[in-house]
Amino acid sequence: MPTSFETSLGGDAPDTTATDFVLAVGGWAHGSIGVTGDADFIAIDLVAGQSYSFAMVGIGSNALTNPYLRLYGPDGTTLLGEDDDSLANGNAVLRFTALDSGRYYLQASAVWAITGNYAVAATIGAKAQFDAAMITGIIDSHASWAAQRGTAVTLSYGFSETVDHGLPGFSQFTPAQMELTRGLLAMFAEVAGLTFVEQNPGGHTDQATLLYGNFSAGDGAVSWAGAPGDPGFGQMAGDVFINTHAYTPPSELPAPGSIDALMMMQLIGESLGLAAPDLYTAPGPISHATHAEFVQDSQ
């Protein structure tokens, strides 16, 4: 993680207007809630009539899991806005239009008695611009297959022979689905410190930490993935099931970047501890302009 602004200050940022750190609009700052009850003041200069977005996201292996962001007026006591969960996975975003030009103050803290690292961003417009650490943080569900987050782990996987988790209309993965899954797991292995070992290679099994299968139900669900957890037989953790009532499995290997490949990539990511950057449950076409919460959320 880049050096935090608190390091540049020579210690913990004060929880008052006496803070010496000024965040530039269009920039980012990394900090830490080091002890229970800690809060950091970050100064920011705003222009009358201009609209801004401010975001706060837990980052790194010691991420602050429920950030709380407040905006105070120039006096440091008038609360102008606050948020703790309008971004995915318990992160925060505020939108504000300044009536007067001057120095305002962001306060970074936590909802509960928790500690961890965070980043804040200030952007002109309706969507916050994230740095790399914030993008990583927003899709981190804080669940992991490793006993210690950030360490390598080996996971077994297989294509379900009979396990259906009680879902209706079970069917086995098609050869094209199996080939797609193997290719995507290989991609994750290259970047995530994970090793995947197929059980009963080329066939089907019910004995694997990560199981893949199909079901058929007219309930509107396209698919689901179980987050990391108990890998025991019959448990949903780590398993991915596709609803063939709403989705027709491919008969040939999908092309990279196709909807088939992207959907499976997202589901596998969720089963490994990643999360969607937002809750896309809105009806009708989903667009960047209407639904994305930050600039880089493009798909």
pLDDT in tens, 150-190: 788 999 999 999 988 888 889 999 999 999 999 999 999 99
End-to-end CA gap in the chain: 26
Over residues 90-109, mean pLDDT = 96
C-alpha 289/C-alpha 67 separation (Å) is: 25
User: What are the structure tokens assigned to 100, written together?
Assistant: 């007067």
Percent of the chain with pLDDT over 70: 87
Lowest mean pLDDT, pick from 78-82, 187-191, 222-226, 274-278: 274-278
CA 213 to chain centre: 25
Q: Identify the pLDDT of residue 182.
A: 97
**pLDDT band of 33, cuts 50, 70, 90:** very high
Q: Yes or no: say if 91 and 142 are a contact pair by the CB < 8 Å rule.
A: no
Over residues 218-247, mean pLDDT = 79
Amino acid in the structure at residue 116: G
For β-strands 67-72 and 79-83, DSSP reports them as antiparallel
To the nearest 5 percent, what fractions of the chain are helix, strand and coil? 15, 30, 55
Strand order across the beta sheet in which 102-110 lies: 40-46, 102-110, 67-72, 79-83
User: What are the structure tokens assigned to 57, written together?
Assistant: 């996201």
In CATH, what class is 153-271? alpha beta
User: What are the structure tokens assigned to 235, written together?
Assistant: 């448990």
Domain positions in the chain are 5-138, 153-271
Percent of the chain with pLDDT over 90: 54
C-alpha 200/C-alpha 206 separation (Å) is: 10
Beta strands in 137-199 (DSSP E): 153-159, 194-198
**pLDDT band of 263, cuts 50, 70, 90:** confident
User: What are the structure tokens assigned to 294, written together?
Assistant: 């930050």
Choose from 102-106, 148-152, 213-217 the range with maximum mean pLDDT.
102-106
Q: Is the pLDDT of residue 2 over 60?
A: no
Distances, alpha carbon 119 to alpha carbons 31, 76, 241, 275, in Å: 6, 21, 35, 18
Q: Is the pLDDT of residue 271 over 60?
A: yes
Q: What is the pTM of this model?
A: 0.76
> Which residues are within 8 A (CB) of 58 and not within 5 positions of it... i.e. 6 or more apart?
64, 65, 66, 67, 90, 91, 116, 117, 118, 137, 140
User: What CATH fold (topology level) applies to the domain 5-138?
Assistant: Jelly Rolls (2.60.120)
Burial class, 39, CB count within 10 angstroms (exposed 0-12 / middle 13-18 / buried 19+):
middle
